[in-house]
Amino acid sequence: MILKETENDQAGKRLTWSFYQQDDVVEIAKELIGKYLVTDFAAGKTVGRIVETEAYQGPEDQASHAFGNRYTERTKTMYLPGGHAYVYLCYGIHQMFNVVTGKDGVPHAILIRAIEPVFNTVLMLDRRGMKSVKPALGAGPGNVGKSLGFNTEHSGNSLLEPTSQIWIEDREEIIHQKQLIASNRVGVAYAGEWALRPWRFRLKDSPWTSKAKGLGE
DNA sequence: CGAATGATCGGCT
DNA sequence: GCCGATCATTCGA
């Protein structure tokens, strides 16, 4: 069962430095849909297919933690060059995993909002305290963090180092623009006009995306 | 040092 | 649909 799953895990090509360095964080947020997020911590390897993302555009985006170039102990991670993890605690409960993108010093980040469980669902279920695989396993950013085993100690980790325990793979899957649904971001109503930007992307017809309602589609 | 707050979730009504 | 959980981070005194 667990062993069988291990045998069936197919490896893909890791995304490279140049992918994460692109300036357009919204474009990268779209491209991340259909990629595979892998964690390989002590408890075991788990893999999820990314089906929902949200872009946060550096200093000018009022919804971003780095709005106005705010630089603190927590947000300093966002200023690293693209290809790092930014993990933070939300509402005291949820470990939120973000991908840092853009050049060194530019605090762009992409929140991974939902994944489709692909590999080692046994461990993912155990981490969640769940018995059977349901969309709730990986739908919603808090659930992504929990099922894949993220915590804030991983913030600032590289996704590119050969020894990294976290990385993203391209498994040669083509996702067409038509399959993407863009909508406004969730939980950022305080951000004024920026809250209306259609920077949340999800895979059409996927049962694995989060149900959280925005202000409209 | 103390107090308010949040890029959410799940359970209950 | 509403409400409580639960704590690091942040800001002000």
Per-residue model confidence as pLDDT tens digits over A32-62: 999 999 999 999 999 999 999 999 999 999 9
- What per-residue confidence (pLDDT) applies to A41? 96
Tracing tokens 């996702």 back to the chain, one arrives at A175
User: What CA dihedral angle connects A209, A142, A88 and A171, to 10 degrees?
Assistant: -40
How many Å apart are A155 CA and C9 C1'?
Answer: 14
- What per-residue confidence (pLDDT) applies to A217? 46
- Give yes or no for residue A216 having a pLDDT over 70: no
Per-residue model confidence as pLDDT tens digits over A163-194: 999 999 999 999 999 999 999 998 888 888 99
Q: What is chain A's mean pLDDT, rounded?
A: 92
Q: How confident is the model at residue A212 (pLDDT cuts 50, 70, 90)?
A: low
Residue A39: strand pairing partners: A46, A166
Task: Spell out residues with C-beta < 7 A from strand B.
Answer: A 54, 56, 63-66, 78, 89-94, 96, 98, 109, 111, 128, 136, 139-143, 186-188, 190, 210, 212
**Secondary structure (DSSP) of chain A:** -HHHHHHHPPP-EEP-HHHHH-S-HHHHHHHTTT-EEEEEETTEEEEEEEEEEEEE-GGG-TTSTTGGG---TTGGGGGSPSSEEEEEEETTTEEEEEEEESSTT--EEEEEEEEEEEE-HHHHHHHHT-SS--GGGTBSHHHHHHHHT--GGGTT-BSSSTT-SEEEEE-S----GGGEEEE--SS-GGGGGGGGS--EEEETT-TTS-----S--
- What per-residue confidence (pLDDT) applies to A21? 98
Q: What is the pLDDT averaged over residues A12-30?
A: 96
Question: Which nucleotide is closest to A94, CA to C1'?
Answer: B8
Per-residue model confidence as pLDDT tens digits over A60-71: 999 999 999 999
- Give yes or no for residue A30 having a pLDDT over 90: yes
Cα gap A69→A77, rounded to integer Å: 12
* Positions in chain B where some atom is under 7 Å from a protein CB: 5-10
Question: Which nucleotide is closest to A90, CA to C1'?
Answer: B6
Per-residue model confidence as pLDDT tens digits over A147-168: 999 999 999 999 999 999 999 9
| CB contact at 8 A, A100 and A108 | yes
- What per-residue confidence (pLDDT) applies to A89? 95
